[in-house]
């Protein structure tokens, strides 16, 4: 290889050079300056504290790249058969905490009479669904722990249609990569297909055996016990199947997209 040849020649040339004492001193000074500069970059560590995934600088790019790598590792760690631990009614956290990107006063108003769930993307049947038709599908209820990205957790009981059952009914292409959700509060999120098909992933209609109240995401929320809380969108109005990653409200700002637990 020509490049390698050139390198060898350079190395030989370097070995032959004899430096004058003045040159030697100059070289040492340059090396010392380089060492100082390296020291300064360590000092510049403190300036990195501003790197937050939102400035678009080199450090942010590296952090985003690592987050995509972590998506892949987590997808590999995920088992579609491993169930989230379930709890007894006595262990339910009461009251279950309200949590959203807005305060409790800004919970969206949804007109239940005119509500319908839109379906789009890689599916056979794109007809919208009413709440009654959703209730006619097989139901499932689990008492599971919701873990927030902030670290706190709470145990609650959600009931509804397994997302897998729903996807089968609409003839979804389950070889597609993503299932996306759009919400009445302009929130949005998405799941990888293996998680969407997990038996405990629900289109939840009930909390503690009664229809979802507004603060828990009425009339329909996605409950995914194998994901962090922010990947459980509330007030869902549209579901779509896609091969392009739909991202999410928090995910697009820097929370890890996969966020499996």
| 14-to-5, 11, 17, 20 alpha-carbon distances in Å | 14, 5, 5, 14
Give every CB contact of residue 49 below 8 A, 6+ residues apart in sequence: none
For another protein, give the closer residue by CB, 23 or 54: 54
For another protein, give the closer residue by CB, 63 or 211: 63
Any idea what the Cα angle at residue 61 is, between residues 56 and 65, rounded to 5°?
145
Pick the binder of another protein from 70, 93, 120, 141 (CB under 8 A): 70
Minimum Å gap between C-beta 28 and another protein is 16
For another protein, give the closer residue by CB, 53 or 170: 53
Q: How far apart are CA 189 and CA 237, in angstroms?
A: 12
Write out the two tokens for 201. Answer: 């992933």
151: left (phi over 0), alpha (psi -120 to 50) or beta: left
Write out the two tokens for 254. Answer: 């820097």
For another protein, give the closer residue by CB, 214 or 254: 254
Site for another protein in 36-55 (CB under 8 A): 45, 48-54
Q: In sequence order, what are the beta bridge partners of 141?
A: 159
Report yes or no: 196 and 242 within 8 Å, Cβ to Cβ.
no
Pick the binder of another protein from 33, 82, 135, 186 (CB under 8 A): 82
Site for another protein in 85-104 (CB under 8 A): 85
- Can residue 152 be called a binding residue for another protein (CB under 8 A)? yes
Pick the binder of another protein from 6, 34, 64, 130 (CB under 8 A): 64
Residue 204's Cβ-side half-sphere holds a number of Cα atoms within 13 Å equal to 30
Q: Which of the stretches 67-75, 127-135, 161-169, 203-211 binds another protein when contact is defined by CB under 8 A?
A: 67-75
Minimum Å gap between C-beta 118 and another protein is 29
- Sheet containing 118-121: order of strands: 118-121, 236-242, 178-183, 188-192
- Can residue 61 be called a binding residue for another protein (CB under 8 A)? no
Pick the binder of another protein from 156, 160, 162, 260 (CB under 8 A): 260
Pick the binder of another protein from 25, 27, 38, 66 (CB under 8 A): 66
Minimum Å gap between C-beta 34 and another protein is 15
| 223-to-9, 16, 212, 261 alpha-carbon distances in Å | 65, 71, 12, 14
Give contact residues for another protein (rule: CB under 8 A).
45, 48-54, 62-64, 66-67, 69-70, 74, 77-79, 82, 84-85, 145, 147-153, 225-226, 250, 253-256, 260-261
């Amino acid at each position: 290889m020509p490049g390698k040849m050139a390198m060898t020649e350079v190395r030989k040339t370097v070995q032959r050079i004899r430096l004058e004492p003045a040159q030697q001193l100059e070289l040492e000074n340059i090396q010392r300056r380089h060492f100082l500069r390296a020291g300064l970059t360590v000092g510049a560590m403190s300036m990195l504290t501003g790197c937050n995934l939102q400035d678009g600088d080199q450090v942010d790019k590296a952090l985003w790249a690592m987050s995509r790598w972590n998506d892949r590792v987590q997808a590999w760690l995920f088992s579609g058969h491993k169930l989230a631990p379930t709890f007894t009614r006595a262990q339910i956290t009461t009251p279950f905490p309200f949590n959203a990107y807005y305060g409790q006063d800004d919970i969206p108003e949804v007109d239940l009479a005119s509500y319908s769930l839109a379906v789009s993307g890689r599916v056979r049947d794109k007809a919208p669904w009413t709440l009654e038709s959703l209730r006619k599908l097989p139901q499932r209820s689990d008492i599971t722990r919701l873990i927030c990205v902030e670290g706190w957790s709470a145990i609650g009981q959600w009931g509804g249609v397994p997302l897998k059952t729903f996807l089968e009914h609409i003839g979804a292409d389950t070889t597609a990569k993503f299932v996306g959700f759009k919400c009445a509060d302009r929130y949005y999120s998405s799941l990888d297909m293996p998680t969407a098909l997990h038996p405990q992933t629900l289109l939840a209609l009930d909390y503690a055996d009664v229809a979802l109240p507004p603060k828990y995401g009425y009339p329909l929320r996605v409950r995914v016990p194998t994901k962090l809380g922010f990947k459980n969108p509330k007030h869902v109005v549209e579901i779509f199947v896609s091969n392009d990653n739909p991202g999410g409200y928090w995910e697009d700002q820097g929370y890890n997209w996969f966020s499996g637990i």
